[in-house]
Structure 1
């Protein structure tokens, strides 16, 4: 399954060299992650009702090409790895248009966190199954 969600590039997200500030890449990826998880049946209300969080454990950002203000881009999300208490999503940010261009990749590992116990936990089996099905 390849999930994709749009993003419109804003003037405030770009430096003078035409490179997106890293913090904005991560914000875009957080929004894309939440949309992806909602698509596979685990939206934000599920997390609240089950006292779970998917916290960033590690993030890598690789810049490939510049984006300009007012560009439209697509963030493609795919499951890269599923562990015992963590999962990794690959986010590819593509400039939209007739000839799409890969602008950046962000590979982010999330740890499954139990809010009641205040510690990491094993992935819920239904969540694991949803990730496997989306893989």
Structure 2
């Protein structure tokens, strides 16, 4: 499956005093992109919840290379990086273009999620409906 891209236009309230997107907004973007990624692959969040599953973020690492400013158009690239028994990792990249029109990556992130039961009974094995939506791992970032 091809990498999913979620478009974002930087809004005024997302920019800090340094003139770039405040770091917390990246996590919000990645969360929204994760939901759209699953839906693009046939799994709405509502369907997952109705089936008795949810996912919880348990670990994330973000590496910034450059800032993104107000009014810029970027895409959040999303790909499955790893599948485990109860957890999976997604890779995210904030992609844009420089003044010459060349592609750029201003930020990379890997986030680990654990599948949990909505009834509060704890973590669960990744069910087929989630595993199928995630597809085969195609990491965007290298593994250490």
What TM-score do you get using the length of structure 1 for normalisation? 0.91
1:65 touches 1:101 (CA, 8 Å); kept in 2? no
The corresponding residue for 1:17 is: 18
Find the partner of 1:109 among 96, 104, 112: 112
1:130 and 2:140 aligned: no
Offset at 1:54?
A: 1.1
- C-alpha distance in 1 between matches for 2:133 and 2:16: 38
Structure 2: unaligned runs, 5 residues or longer: 139-144
SS at match of 1:19: coil
SS at match of 1:120: coil
2:83 touches 2:137 (CA, 8 Å); kept in 1? no
2:5 touches 2:75 (CA, 8 Å); kept in 1? yes
Cα RMSD, aligned residues only: 1.6
More displaced stretch, 32-41 vs 113-122: 113-122
Offset at 1:132?
A: 2.7
Structure 1: unaligned runs, 5 residues or longer: none
Change (3 A) 1:54 1:36: same
1:8 touches 1:71 (CA, 8 Å); kept in 2? yes
The corresponding residue for 1:59 is: 60
Offset at 1:133?
A: 4.4
The corresponding residue for 1:28 is: 29
The corresponding residue for 1:73 is: 74
What TM-score do you get using the length of structure 2 for normalisation? 0.86
